[in-house]
Amino acid sequence: MQPALLFRTLILLAVLACTAALARPTPSGFIALCSPPTNDICVDKQCQCSRITCSRCGVKSFTCDEATGQSTCVCKTC
């Protein structure tokens, strides 16, 4: 196998491994897919709701008050 082809194959495998690692569910409370935080608290909370809290079955409803930052996140029943 040529050295250039071997290098390209190794790079492709590394990219696939990284993609697979990112696709795994994150531990509860760890917001890996919602960073960096935005200036809008509701956007951050909606991301956390959809990607962390309700990642298994999806979001049924989400509300957020921009003035207070209070939000509700209700997940769909699986």
Whole-angstrom distance, CA of residue 33 vs CA of residue 48 = 9
Q: Does the pLDDT at position 73 exceed 90?
A: yes
Chain segment 39-69, per-residue pLDDT in tens: 899 999 999 999 889 989 999 999 999 999 8
**What is the pTM assigned to this prediction?**
0.55
Q: Do the beta carbons of residue 31 and residue 45 sit within 8 Å?
A: no
* Domain map (residue ranges) of the chain: 3-75
Q: b/e per residue, 34-51, with b = 16+ CB within 10 A? A: beeeeeebbebbbbbbbb
| pLDDT band (50, 70, 90) for residue 37 | confident
Residue 76's pLDDT band (boundaries 50, 70, 90)? very high
Burial of residue 65 (CB within 10 Å: 0-12, 13-18, 19+) is exposed
